[in-house]
Amino acid sequence: MTRRRRIYEGTGKVIFEGPEPGTLVQYFKDDTSHKARAGVIAGKGVLNNRISEHLMTRLGEMGVPTHFMRRLNMREQLVREVEIIPVQVVVRNLAAGSLAERFGLAEGTPLPRSIVEYYYKAPEMTPPLVTEEHITAFGWAPPHDMDEIVPMALRVNDFLSGLFHGIGLRLVDVRLEFGRLWENEQQRIVLADEISPDNCRLWDLKTNEKMDKDRFRQDLGRVEEAYQEVARRLGILPESGPGDLPGPDAIQ
């Protein structure tokens, strides 16, 4: 048995070299953090692995190119390695979080239309809000990449809004990452990273109860239950519950 090379460890995931060139393994952890506060959400990694697999697969069926290849086990999935564009693309449908703060809007205020925002993924700092000017001037992505990314992000938002609506959840906002994939000298933009309650705001349609990472950020309690409920409504809650694997020290 060979030990996999660990490439990167972030807050929510560990990235390992994949079994074939051009592939990576994403290991989903239970760890979380908000500002200086770190925490653990028991079973989150197992649930986010499943939730992201499910949503990326549905998006793929819709014709949205994604990095997802297949789930390997409870906590790991195989993805195509991409050149990550260091810009988080946030699509917002209702005011919440930093947008609500910035404009003094009550959380939940409907927006006249979906608003796309960009945040620069700089190492060691909270991603600052940037404009397309910064993105192109600093060379994070050329205009032709942005021309692909923006409609794709809106399409992902529309599709996910409908999908979640069908299970009684409102998609308040979603934070996406994209990457470049090279195939026979041709470059394609694909959806990467993950889609889960760590990077979506999801509110119950009837009660407006928060069912996402805001439960941790705002110390609302029943954090584990919220992630489980999202998986349950998607029809993908593992029967054994969010069981476990030894730890991120995975071997091939």
Summarize as ranges the residues that interact with ligand ADP (CB under 6 A). 8, 10-13, 15, 24, 67, 79-82, 84, 177, 179, 192-193
Nearer to ligand ADP, 67 or 201 (CB): 67
Nearer to ligand ADP, 77 or 161 (CB): 77
Q: How far apart are CA 224 and CA 173, in angstroms?
A: 20
Q: How far apart are CA 149 and CA 179, in angstroms?
A: 9
- Tell me, rounded to whole angstroms, the distance of Cα 237 from its chain centroid: 18
CB 80 within 8 A of CB 52: no
Closest separation in Å from C-beta 83 to ligand ADP:
7
Q: How many CA atoms, within 13 angstroms, populate the side-chain half-sphere of residue 228?
A: 13
> Which residues are within 8 A (CB) of 136 and not within 5 positions of it... i.e. 6 or more apart?
142, 143, 146
Residue 21 burial by Cβ neighbours in a 10 Å radius (0-12, 13-18, 19+): exposed
Nearer to ligand ADP, 24 or 74 (CB): 24
Nearer to ligand ADP, 95 or 176 (CB): 176
**What DSSP character marks residue 136?**
H
Closest separation in Å from C-beta 251 to ligand ADP:
20
Closest separation in Å from C-beta 26 to ligand ADP:
7
Q: How far apart are CA 207 and CA 229, in angstroms?
A: 14
| Helix or strand run (H / E) with residue 175 | strand 169-183
CB-nearest residue to ligand ADP? 10
Closest separation in Å from C-beta 181 to ligand ADP:
8
CB 196 within 8 A of CB 50: no
Q: How far apart are CA 237 and CA 232, in angstroms?
A: 5
Nearer to ligand ADP, 8 or 103 (CB): 8
Closest separation in Å from C-beta 11 to ligand ADP:
4
Closest separation in Å from C-beta 249 to ligand ADP:
16
Nearer to ligand ADP, 74 or 94 (CB): 74
